[in-house]
Amino acid sequence: MKSTGMVRKLDQLGRVVLPVELRRALDVKTQDSLEIYVDGDRVIFKKYVPSMTCHVTGENSENNVKLLGGKLVLSPDVLQDIMVELGNKPLKNLRRR
């Protein structure tokens, strides 16, 4: 794990301020949610992206697209590939059971 050389103290309520350099590097903005993990003696913060994991690739990204009322999540690349595939086949060939 890379050391940043930054030290911050907790306030009376247990809060710590993430330095602006870290927020910029991690693309964390005001009101963004963070996931907090404990790994041994380490505390890990990760930007939280709710249920945006592509069902095909497993990629978790804010850029993924929810379809069918959120039942299907696809990355933009997979969605593009599917659209190309569907565009190249007659509808009758898609209805296989």
Same domain for 63 and 44, yes or no, is no
pLDDT for the residue 86: 86
Same domain for 11 and 41, yes or no, is yes
Question: Burial, 79: exposed, middle or buried (Cβ in 10 Å; 0-12, 13-18, 19+)?
Answer: middle
Same domain for 8 and 35, yes or no, is yes
pTM exceeding the 0.95 threshold for the entire prediction? no
Same domain for 62 and 37, yes or no, is no
Same domain for 27 and 55, yes or no, is no
pLDDT at 18 over 50: yes
Same domain for 44 and 77, yes or no, is no
Q: Which domain holds residue 26?
A: 1-48
Task: State the Cα angle at 17 between 16 and 20, rounded to 5°.
Answer: 155
Same domain for 29 and 62, yes or no, is no
Same domain for 39 and 55, yes or no, is no
Provide the CATH number for the domain around residue 19.
2.10.260.10
Question: How many domains does one find in the chain?
Answer: 2
Same domain for 42 and 62, yes or no, is no
**Which residues, including other chains, have CB under 8 Å from residue 74's CB and lie 6 or more apart?**
54, 55, 56, 64, 65, 67, 82
Tens-place pLDDT, residues 54-96:
999 988 888 999 999 889 999 999 999 999 988 877 666 655 5
